[in-house]
Structure 1
Amino acid sequence: MYEAFFNLNTLPFENTPDPRFFFGSEEHREALAAIEYTIRMRKGYVCVTGPVGTGKTTVSRTMISRCSDSARIVPILHGHEDGKQLLRQILRAVEVTYHLNDDHAILLEKVFTFLHEQYAAGEPVVLLVDEAHAMSDSALQELCMLSNYDTNRAKLVQVVLVGQPELLHRLHEPQMAALKQRISMVKALRPMTIQETAAYIGHRIRMASIDPQHLQVRFPGKALEAIFNLTHGVPRLVNYVCDNAMLLASVKKEREITPAMVQTVAADLSLSLVHNDFVSSTSDAPRLALAGNM
């Protein structure tokens, strides 16, 4: 609604995992690099965790856009009650026919045949498991079993586990020991610092602007501090606040976002109720007086 007023090609703060808007904070860059390294070097399993709204899905989608030239990436949904359901979803996702009465061994053989064919064709398979913390023990253990089909020289399948922090707790349970041992890298995403939050906002506005060199909206330092204090640097919450603040500013025909606008938006969104889990346990209280420009 406010694109024309702020000279934008698109809305800059949509809560969709669009790789065009990927912002490389230090932790997000490390997570993406870990995934890419695991896939391209065929290391097997990698795990990325983070609280709700910290950008896990955006990292995953960015990985798809960067790695799809060298691998067949297969998104896997959570919620499987057992290993057979997981195998069936894999086969559906790669369009391999199976029958409802196929037992576990037959399903596993069909998956293995597909993995081997893809490897021979130079397009190895990557299973991208989002919300992995919500998978059943049986489904997670089935993922582990897929590595049993690796050849002497290479791993036929790479697995990217993406989930909330409780995934790490589950991996430390005794029944998950075999899966834990197969994970070559673990990266944890946390909310952004105040400096990263300011850079994130500027990045998204520039990406959405028709003329990135002459931005038509400003977030002065006090407004940026107010946004950080309310959202604790959680990207999803930052998007909500900035989107609504820009809408309010456009209605007022103003090109500068003020702390008062941020507080108005926060009251409308009830952001005072944001859970403390969003606060990084390692971050200090903000001390930076940000400049008034981007």
Structure 2
Amino acid sequence: MYHHYFGLTELPFTLTPNTSFYCDLESHRSAFEVLVTALAAGEGFIKVVGEVGTGKTLLCRKLLNELPEQFVTAYIPNPYLTPSEMRAHIARELQVEAPEQQSEQLLTQAIQERLMSIVRDGKTTVVVVDEAQALPSETLEALRLISNLETESRKLIHIVLFGQPELDERLATREHRQLRQRITFSYSLQAMSVDELAHYISHRLYVAGYQGQSLFTPRAVQLLHDASRGIPRLVNVLCHKVLMLCYGEGAMQVTVKHVQLAVQDTDDVDLPRQSRWLWFGSAAVVVILVLSIAWWQGWLTEYLL
């Protein structure tokens, strides 16, 4: 693979949300500060929303890795669970001993006792839910009820929801108005600017061990931004492909041509401006030819008659 060709110790643009490649983008930094501040303040529900590929899972894992020891965490990566499955998952994450008799009431009581024990130890419980837009309505309501567990002075559990914009759409319905009112802190992740994208690429290459001259020309970076709309996941896909192209050609720098070829081979990207004009130009030529032929055939028919 190309990582040896460029002197890299590992592939820099994989789709795995590896926190060692975390880049301190302004949007991610602000979101992380909101999360830490809200949890320190003891807020019940916190929400982070971002489009597909904007780095929610990476931010989620960074939060789990870097929360101080005073926080006890329960991570739910796949929230498509029934209310019973959700309670059981939270119980396992918090090392709650399941009651011998299968009972939702007894399990909830066991969770509450564990939460009280955590509070007595001077710690705080945080449940982190990734892909929260996939939570069934009944499970969303079950989470709200779990968040009701509290003492006279503080919440026993804090819940962080990471989700796509569809999560906001669901919370905006009348059905979930009670949960919506419980969300005291929220943040919306934004795509990268051109300058941030250039820094993002350099950062990931540096972490992967690159030590040479700049691999990407300014025009290539601009085209990457136009095509990817500044979405990190799409940037990773395109950068991986252009480095493979460079390796295949024996080139040591990414050019506009490499990016254009990568874009043509990638779904959900915006067609580069140059390609759009080429397409429109070709379409215009076709239209002119069709009209010309139609006019000529009409004239010829009239002449023959």
Q: Please classify the TM superposition score into its range, dividing by the shorter chain length.
A: 0.7 to 0.9
Match of 2:110?
110
Matches within 5 A, 1:255-294: 255-272=252-269
Q: Which residue of 1 aligns with 2:224?
A: 227
The aligned length equals 270
- Whichever residue aligns with residue 105 of structure 2, its letter is A
Aligned: 1:136 with 2:129: no
SS in structure 2 of the partner of residue 159 of structure 1:
strand
Displacement after TM superposition at 1:133 (Å): 0.8
Distance 2:200 2:184 in 1: 29
Q: Distance in 1 between matches of 2:247 and 2:70?
A: 44
Cα distance in structure 1, aligned partners of 2:111 and 2:227? 47
Matched, 1:79 2:76: no
Distance 2:43 2:108 in 1: 21
1:99 is displaced (CA, Å) by 5.4
TM-score between both structures, scaled by the size of structure 1: 0.86
1:251 is aligned to 248
Q: Look up the match of 1:175.
A: 175
CA distance in 2, matches of 1:229, 1:240: 14
Read off the aligned partner of 1:85 and give its amino acid letter: E
Taking the aligned partners of 2:212 and 2:268, their CA distance within structure 1 comes to 27
**1:68: Cα distance to partner?**
5.0
Corresponding position of 2:295:
none
RMSD: 1.9
**Structure 1 pair 217/6, CA: closer, same or farther in 2 (3 Å)?**
farther
Partner of 2:197: 197
The answer to whether the Cα contact below 8 Å between 1:209 and 1:215 also exists between their aligned partners in 2 is no
Distance in 2 separating the partners of 1:272 and 1:169: 24
Do 2:128 and 2:161's aligned partners in 1 also have CA atoms closer than 8 Å?
yes
Q: Is the 8 Å Cα contact of residues 206 and 215 (structure 1) preserved in structure 2?
A: no
Question: SS state of the match for residue 58, structure 2?
Answer: helix
Structure-2 separation of matches of 1:272 and 1:182: 37
State the shift of 1:96 in Å: 2.4
Unaligned runs of at least 5 residues, structure 1: 275-294
Relative to structure 2, which stretch is displaced further, 220-229 or 139-148?
139-148
Tell me, what secondary structure is at the counterpart of 2:161? strand
**Which residue number in structure 2 is paired with residue 67 of structure 1?**
67
SS at match of 1:247: helix
Q: Deviations over 1:50-108 (max 9, x none)?
A: 11111000110111111053312111131123x22211111122332325862221121
Map of 1:187 onto structure 2: 187
**Could you tell me how far 1:39 is from its partner in structure 2?**
2.1
Give yes or no for the alignment of 1:240 onto 2:241: no
Aligned equivalents of 1:215, 1:69: Cα separation in 2: 39
Counterpart of 2:297?
Answer: none
Offset at residue 190 of structure 1 (A): 2.4
2:286 equivalent in structure 1: none
Separation in 1, partners of 2:229, 2:156: 41
- Structure 2's unaligned 5+ residue stretches are 272-305
Bigger helix share: 2
Q: In the TM superposition, what is the alpha-carbon distance from 1:167 to its structure 2 partner?
A: 0.7
Shift of 1:217: 4.8
Equivalent in the alignment of 2:33:
33
Q: In 1, Cα distance between the equivalents of 2:267 and 2:45? A: 39
Structure 2 Cα separation of the partners of residues 241 and 122 of structure 1 = 47
Superposition TM-score, scaled by structure 2 size: 0.83
Distance across 1 between alignment mates of 2:113 and 2:38: 22
